[in-house]
Amino acid sequence: MSFHLVVCGSLVPDPLQTLEPVMGPDGPALKNELMLPAVLDPWAGHALNEAANLAKKVPGSKVWLVSLGPKAKLQQLMMSIAQKVPFELVALDGPARGFTDSWEVAEALANAIRTIPGLDRSRLLLFGGCSSASRDGGVTMQMIGERLEIVDQFLGVDELQLQADGSLRVLERVEGGQYLASVVTGPPMVAAWATGHLPEPPSNPQLGMQNMRTIMPALMKAPAVKLGTGGVEFAEVELPTQRRETRIVKDAKPEEIAQELVAWMKG
């Protein structure tokens, strides 16, 4: 049986940039947000690579990427990731900063998934990141799965193996550096990926040109989505203050250093 793989992932500001929060007319935002270079969210990137790898192994499978972000920034991002793996874009034009409410984001993404033409929910594997570099609520994928009535959900996935009988074996992170191994008879299921084991695919300009034939029309017709903060009111946003106290001490015992660090943190 082939799979219909839907990956939820969007852009985040390049982590090498300095992010300065400011209060805008619609609430908190990032200073010069539209000018900041953007990259695909790292956890979503793992999910997209894993989905493309699985689709390559199973003939007849198809990958969709559902992205929520400013249309102009999404277009810039797609020009780079379109060269990595084959997918069809489902775009939503909306804010991508980290001050939006996860509940509203999940609702918008679930509605977009429902409207994908030809999507067969009996073959649906819903992938995404277990976390995010912007909306780090850690609950978005779970809420999307609930809205789509998907019972089998795995959060913190590092490996997914297709078994000979068509079942799926999932390795999910648990406490203590261990894994919970589960076997699912088949889709539908949700997999929120941690890191996975696949390297980043090499760039393929021909694949990029092929993907852009469907990406550009998807961006042109991307519906606008207005997201709020879930009723949360921000009184003020600012960068955390930096504090640095350095002392050079010779021949200190590890126990003394540990005790001093604990005392400093308590203070």
pLDDT (0 to 100) of residue 188: 92
> 179-194: b or e for each residue (b if 16 or more CB lie within 10 Å)?
eeeeebebbbbbbbbb
pLDDT digits (tens, 9 = 90+) for 203-238: 888 988 988 998 998 888 888 888 766 566 666 666
pLDDT (0 to 100) of residue 4: 94
pLDDT (0 to 100) of residue 110: 92
Instruction: Indicate the burial class of 68 (C-beta count within 10 angstroms; 0-12, 13-18, 19 or more).
Output: buried
| DSSP secondary structure letters along the chain | ---EEEEE--EEE-TTSPP-EEEETTEEEETTGGGS-EEE-HHHHHHHHHHHHHHHHSTT-EEEEEEEE-HHHHHHHHHHHTTTS--EEEEEES--STTS-HHHHHHHHHHHHHT-TT--GGGEEEEEESS-SSSTTS-HHHHHHHHTT---EEEEEEEEEE-TTS-EEEEEE-GGG-EEEEEESSSSEEEEES--SPPPPPP-HHHHHHHHHHHHHHHHTPPB-----TT---S---PPPP-------SS--HHHHHHHHHHHHH-
Q: What are the domain boundaries of the chain?
A: 4-220
pLDDT digits (tens, 9 = 90+) for 60-84: 999 999 998 888 888 888 888 889 8
Mean pLDDT of 13-36: 74
Mean pLDDT of 98-117: 86
pLDDT (0 to 100) of residue 149: 92
Nearest to 27 by CA among 266, 260, 231: 231
Mean pLDDT of 244-256: 82
Between 9 and 14, the more confident residue is 9
Q: Are 189 and 39 in contact (CB under 8 A)?
A: no
Lowest mean pLDDT, pick from 28-42, 44-58, 85-99, 207-221? 28-42
Lowest mean pLDDT, pick from 34-48, 124-138, 221-235? 221-235
Mean pLDDT of 110-129: 91
pLDDT digits (tens, 9 = 90+) for 162-213: 998 888 999 988 887 788 999 999 889 999 988 877 888 888 889 889 889 9
Asked if the model's pLDDT at residue 133 lies above 90, the reply is no
pLDDT (0 to 100) of residue 237: 67
pLDDT (0 to 100) of residue 22: 76
How many Å apart are CA 104 and CA 97, to the nearest integer? 13
Strands 27-30 and 21-24 come out as: antiparallel
pLDDT (0 to 100) of residue 17: 74
What percent of the chain has a predicted confidence (pLDDT) above 70?
Answer: 92
CATH number for the domain running over 4-220: 3.40.50.620
pLDDT (0 to 100) of residue 234: 67
7: β partners: 65, 127
How many Å apart are CA 211 and CA 233, to the nearest integer? 41
Token pair for 234 = 């921000």
Mean pLDDT of 108-136: 87
pLDDT (0 to 100) of residue 266: 86
Q: Write down the pTM of the prediction.
A: 0.81
